[in-house]
Amino acid sequence: MTGLFDISGKVALVTGGAQGLGRMIAEGLVRAGARVYITSRKADICEQTARELSEFGECFPIPADLTTPEAATALVNEIKSRESVVHILINNAGKTWGAPLESFPDKAWASVMAVNVQGPFTLVRDLLPLLKAGATAENPARVINIGSLAGAKAERLSAYSYSASKAAIHHLSKVLAADLAESHITVNAVVLGYFPTQMTAHIRKEDDETQKLLARVPLGRLGTPEDIVGLITFLSSRAGAYVTGSEMYLDGGLSGCA
């Protein structure tokens, strides 16, 4: 059992890794001994986060706005200039848009789908040579796509393009898992419930709304950094080497107990 959850020395890319869930994931990987690259649209935040996480290990910033496939390809080219292998790709960068159905704008679709679906696909496609170089039958390379409960059940968020994009990334993960299994690359989707991040700030801004939300969660609380880091570490380590094509729910029981 020694080293079952060891990811030290692995090279990881965490998109959207400078804030929120991405930062939680990136810090967990850095502390576990991985060499981690993080991205963010905002160069100053990306660089500041990398400096802070570098206190615990190796963390490097690459500012990137992943709203176009060209930007995703440019990110891959930057990684290729620095590394010959990538063992772990965390597609975490995300975008949402909320508005009532009657006024939900057409412009809320293209950018959300680009960041949440097309970007992860482009990164997997263009990083294939490096992922294959870091993969073995016993210890595959890992692609982990961050999904959402909103893409699995009808959460009343009025975030129509976001919900559709997350349903899409859940299914895309399965399709990619089937295609990449023979290359010893696993692909899984982590389907998240509610965590204290910027994306849920509008729900948590009033204490009454927070209490209503917590009343819906069977375990009675929001997710924590330890929750997401624990699952990501499992999927990234030898312990998770036989898991692919799965949707791993991390939602305090909202999906399975409701």
**Residues designated as active site:** 162
- The 8-class DSSP code of residue 192 comes to E
Alpha helices, H only, the chain: 20-31, 43-53, 69-82, 107-113, 119-133, 160-180, 201-204, 207-216, 225-236
Residue type, position 76, single letter? V
What is the number of alpha carbons within 13 Å of residue 177 lying toward its C-beta? 21
CA angle, residues 185, 189, 192, in degrees to nearest 5: 150
